């Protein structure tokens, strides 16, 4: 069942993220946009969370390991009501709690990252705690594909399978690009699905912009005793034509003219269709 409104929510996330990055003259908008559809589906009904009680003990845990792409997560949280929308304007400003790598000091954020390779081990610990205590909440963690170069992730992949963490879902935002170029040309991960299966994970390959596929991958019952990895093929900068698949938008911040163009493309009539 596809929830209504996820496409509009994804569009709103993108609009807010682009505005935040432009206003703050910040970086990493490309990776924020590539995962926006997954965030929309997660925060539009998959995640069991309560914006009025961000620390509700029975909530699902969502951890952003690619913490540099936090603008879209802050946007999703504000849109869901975890904190006031106006605060998004403080993104990256002096003294703001909305720092440009994800911060646990923001309501709804479980864990601060920024150095890569930290989210999945932490998520394993939380999932293990739920197992040991018999809780039914789930743990989700979003990684980037470039980030899979970190050895700590492969340690955690071993661990997740060893401890049968079927309450854990790792999403890998495979936009194919990292800091200095294409992942395939730097430390190729392929064949990534086969590697992850060999590590003992239930691997689902999806189009990371197809909300139906995202929903199915996140909600189909777990294979008992097997953690799930959702390999989402995405486009870096998705939704803004001049950013799509352009490495420069790992770093650049749109000026007023480019921001206006981006926002025009993200108007409701230009709504993304999967």
Minimum separation from the CB atom of position 74 to another protein (A):
18
Q: How far apart are CA 68 and CA 28, in angstroms?
A: 6
Shortest distance, position 121 Cβ to another protein, whole Å:
3
Confirm or reject binding of residue 112 to another protein (CB under 8 A).
Answer: yes
Name the minimum Å distance from CB 116 to another protein. Answer: 10
**Considering only residues 132-161, where is the footprint of another protein by CB under 8 A?**
132-133, 151-152, 155-156, 158-159
Stretch that binds another protein, among 31-39, 46-54, 121-129, 186-194 (CB under 8 A): 121-129
Pick the binder of another protein from 117, 144, 208, 237 (CB under 8 A).
117
Show the 3-state SS of the chain.
CCCCCHHHHHHHHHHHHHHHHHHHCCCCHHHHHHCHHHHHHHHHHHCCCCCCCCCCCCCCEEEECCHHHHHHHHHHHHHHCCCCHHHHHHCCCCCCCCCCCCCCCCCCCCCCCCCCCCHHHHHHHHHHHHHHHCCCCCEEEEEECHHHHCHHHHHHHHHHHHCCCCCEEEEEEECCEECCEEHHHHCCCCCHHHHHHHCCCEEEEEECCCHHHHHHHHHCCCCCCCCEEEEEECCCCCCCCCCCCCHHHHCCCCCHHHHHHHHHHCCHHHCCCC
Work out whether 113 is an interface residue with another protein (CB under 8 A): yes
The answer to whether residue 48 forms part of the interface with another protein (CB under 8 A) is: no
Give the nearest distance from C-beta 69 to another protein in angstroms. 17
When asked if residue 114 is in the footprint of another protein (CB under 8 A), the reply is yes
Q: Quick one: which segment of 92-100, 128-136, 211-219, 241-249 binds another protein (CB under 8 A)? A: 128-136
Q: Contact between 38 and another protein (CB under 8 A)?
A: no
Stretch that binds another protein, among 4-12, 107-115, 183-191, 251-259 (CB under 8 A): 107-115
Asked whether position 185 contacts another protein by CB under 8 A, the answer is no
Our finding on whether 199 is near another protein (CB under 8 A) is no
Residues near another protein, by CB under 8 A: 104, 110-115, 117-118, 120-130, 132-133, 151-152, 155-156, 158-159, 162
């Amino acid at each position: 069942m596809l929830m209504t409104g996820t496409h509009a929510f994804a569009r709103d996330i993108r609009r807010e993220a682009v505005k935040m990055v432009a206003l703050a003259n910040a970086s990493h908008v490309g990776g924020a946009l590539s995962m926006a559809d997954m965030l929309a589906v997660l925060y539009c009904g998959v995640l069991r969370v309560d914006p009025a009680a961000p620390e509700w003990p029975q909530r699902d845990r969502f951890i952003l390991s690619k913490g540099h792409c936090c603008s879209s997560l802050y946007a999703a949280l504000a849109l869901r009501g975890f904190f006031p929308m106006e605060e998004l304007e403080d993104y990256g400003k002096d003294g703001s709690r909305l720092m440009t790598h994800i911060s646990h000091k923001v309501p709804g954020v479980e864990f601060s990252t920024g150095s890569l390779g930290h989210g999945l081990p932490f998520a394993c610990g939380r999932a293990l705690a739920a197992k040991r205590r018999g809780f039914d909440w789930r743990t989700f963690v979003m990684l980037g594909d470039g980030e899979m170069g970190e050895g700590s992730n492969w340690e955690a992949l071993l661990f997740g399978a060893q401890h049968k963490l079927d309450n854990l879902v790792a999403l890998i935002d495979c936009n194919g690009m990292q800091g200095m170029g294409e992942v395939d040309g730097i430390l190729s991960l392929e064949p990534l699905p086969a590697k992850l299966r060999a590590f003992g994970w239930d691997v689902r390959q999806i189009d990371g912009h197809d909300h139906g596929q995202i929903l199915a991958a996140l909600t189909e019952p777990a294979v008992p005793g097997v953690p799930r990895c959702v390999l989402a093929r995405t486009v870096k900068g998705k939704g803004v034509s001049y950013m799509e698949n352009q490495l420069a938008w790992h770093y650049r911040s749109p000026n007023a003219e480019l921001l206006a163009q981006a926002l025009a493309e993200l108007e409701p009539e230009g709504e993304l269709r999967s």
